[in-house]
Amino acid sequence: MRIAAGVAAVTLALISALHVIWIFSPWPLATRADFARLVVGVPEDRTPSGALTGLVAGLIAVAGYVVAARAGLVPEIGPRWVYAAGAFTVAAVLGLRGVGGLVGAGVRGSSMPEFNALDLRIYSPLCAVLAGLSLWVALSPGD
């Protein structure tokens, strides 16, 4: 369980850091237009604001901390039940994103083929795996 939590927490931390980078840069893509099309799946003028991207980065970082704390990898601050409930919440949100991406690809159809392909191959499966790891941690007895 600790390995699952560590993998989930480190992956979530890296995803959070990537969102922080995206506040300032479209890296690893060359342009904001490419970023909007391939990462977000929207036209460039509908790309989320830096503040919203920062909020998402913070929430993802908190999710990683909650999973790590539930497994005893980092200190808990506050009551233990918060971390059990939090790990279930992380699993639910990531699970919904994973399933939503698979369903959304069919709904979006050919309007965003490049994003759909990445969502089906990378984004949704990654969310599903992280949801499974988080659920495993949530269901495991606390240390």
pLDDT digits (tens, 9 = 90+) for 120-131: 999 999 999 999
Banded pLDDT at 143 (limits 50, 70, 90)? low
pTM attached to this predicted model: 0.90
* pLDDT, tens digit, 9 for 90 and up, residues 51-73: 999 999 999 999 999 999 999 99
For helices 2-24 and 124-139, what crossing angle results, to 10°? 140
Of 1-5, 20-24, 83-87, 101-105, the poorest mean pLDDT is in: 101-105
Banded pLDDT at 101 (limits 50, 70, 90)? confident
Residue 83 has pLDDT above 80, yes or no: yes
Ramachandran area for residue 41 (φ above 0: left; ψ -120 to 50: alpha; else beta): left
Q: What is the mean pLDDT of the chain?
A: 92
**Closest among 104, 126, 119, 124 to 37, alpha carbons compared:** 119
At 102 the pLDDT is 84
At 141 the pLDDT is 83
Quote the tokens at residue 108: 């979006």
Residue 136 has pLDDT above 80, yes or no: yes
Is 71:5 a contact under the CB 8 Å cutoff? yes
At 58 the pLDDT is 98
Residue 36 has pLDDT above 90, yes or no: yes
